[in-house]
Amino acid sequence: GENVEQHPSTLSVQEGDSAVIKCTYSDSASNYFPWYKQELGKRPQLIIDIRSNVGEKKDQRIAVTLNKTAKHFSLHITETQPEDSAVYFCAASSSKSTFGDGTTLTVKP
Amino acid sequence: SAVISQKPSRDICQRGTSLTIQCQVDSQVTMMFWYRQQPGQSLTLIATANQGSEATYESGFVIDKFPISRPNLTFSTLTVSNMSPEDSSIYLCSVTPGSRGHEQYFGPGTRLTVT
């Protein structure tokens, strides 16, 4: 089955800096790669996704890149703000999603 | 996105008992899933709830322990049977509306504590 590895497990940045979270996947059949943000005590929320026919996608301060050949994808957050502090999960999906272990992002004011 | 509700939001149960969690969606959806999330951990798929047929379980999860129903395209239940403290976790319903491909949305979760 699919295996998703996510790094780093924790990330601390200063407000205004950029944050990058990286994921690798194993199953070449995966064709959809979403990212979720989960605040403490809340449900995971879809923040951005990318499909296998696209190399990059951007939505305001967040962007995702995908390298199908290398089987890795990354989340980039620019101009970080304290409200970006949360746990971020990547996932790889064909018919069902396999999630990474999560990255706890802390943005220090 | 779909509006998803779960009941109960939390419960404290005695070991050996069973709890049924309900998931209701405000519109018909293609896929419904049940996940477990233990404190500080990632999301683990328990099963895919299939409308009108038996659920598809992931490795490590069995129907006798986690029976699932999906009588229609907007509703599903997950039962946690013969509970033990190891079943203490957050259980999340998730749906893929289908109108926008794979996009997946989560319910608010049910926090279960087994004593």
SS (H, E, C) A25-69: ECCCCCCEEEEEEECCCCCCEEEEEEECCCCEEEECCEEEEEECC
pLDDT in tens, B49-107: 988 889 999 999 999 999 999 999 999 999 999 999 999 999 999 999 875 567 899 99
Distance from CA of A75 to the nearest CA of B (A): 17
pLDDT in tens, A3-14: 999 999 999 999
Q: Which residues contact A78 (CB under 8 A, 6 or more apart)?
A: A18, A61, A62, A63
A46–B104 C-beta distance less than 8 A = yes
Cβ-based neighbour number of residue B82 at 10 Å: 11
Confidence of residue A96 (pLDDT cuts 50, 70, 90): confident
Query: What distance in Å separates the CA atoms of residue B20 and residue B79, rounded to the nearest whole number?
Result: 4
Q: What integer pLDDT is reported at residue B76 of this predicted model?
A: 97
Chain A residue with the nearest C-alpha to that of B30: A95
Q: What integer pLDDT is reported at residue A69 of this predicted model?
A: 93
Q: What integer pLDDT is reported at residue A95 of this predicted model?
A: 81
For residue B97, the chain A residues in CB contact (below 8 A) are: none
For residue B5, the chain A residues in CB contact (below 8 A) are: none
Q: What is the mean pLDDT of residues B18-45?
A: 95
Q: What integer pLDDT is reported at residue A94 of this predicted model?
A: 86
B105–A34 C-beta distance less than 8 A = no
B102–A32 C-beta distance less than 8 A = yes
Best CA proximity match to B83, nearest among B11, B34, B35: B11
Distance from CA of A33 to the nearest CA of B (A): 9
B92–A43 C-beta distance less than 8 A = yes
Q: What is the mean pLDDT of residues A61-76?
A: 96
Chain A residue with the nearest C-alpha to that of B57: A96
Residues B26, B105: contact at Cβ < 8 Å? no
Residues A66, A76: contact at Cβ < 8 Å? no
Per-residue three-class SS string for chain B: CCCEEEECCEEEECCCCCEEEEEEECCCCCEEEEEEECCCCCCEEEEEECCCCCCEECCCCCCCCCCEEEEECCEEEEEECCCCHHHCEEEEEEEECCCCCCCCEECCCEEEEEC
B103–A34 C-beta distance less than 8 A = yes
More confident residue, B2 or B10: B10
Q: What integer pLDDT is reported at residue B52 of this predicted model?
A: 84
Q: What integer pLDDT is reported at residue B26 of this predicted model?
A: 95
Q: What is the mean pLDDT of residues A65-71?
A: 95
Query: What distance in Å separates the CA atoms of residue B103 and residue B100, rounded to the nearest whole number?
Result: 6
Q: How many CA atoms lie within 13 A of A20 on its CB side?
A: 5
- Residue A1, pLDDT > 90, answer no
Confidence of residue B2 (pLDDT cuts 50, 70, 90): confident
- Residue A109, pLDDT > 70, answer yes
Q: What is the mean pLDDT of residues A20-48?
A: 96
Provide the β-strand partners of residue A48: A35
Taking all residues of chain A, what is their mean pLDDT, rounded to a whole number?
A: 95
Residues A105, A17: contact at Cβ < 8 Å? no
Confidence of residue A52 (pLDDT cuts 50, 70, 90): confident
Q: Which two tokens stand for residue A88?
A: 């971020």
List residues in chain B touching A: CB distance below 8 A. Answer: 1, 33, 41-45, 48, 59, 92, 101-109
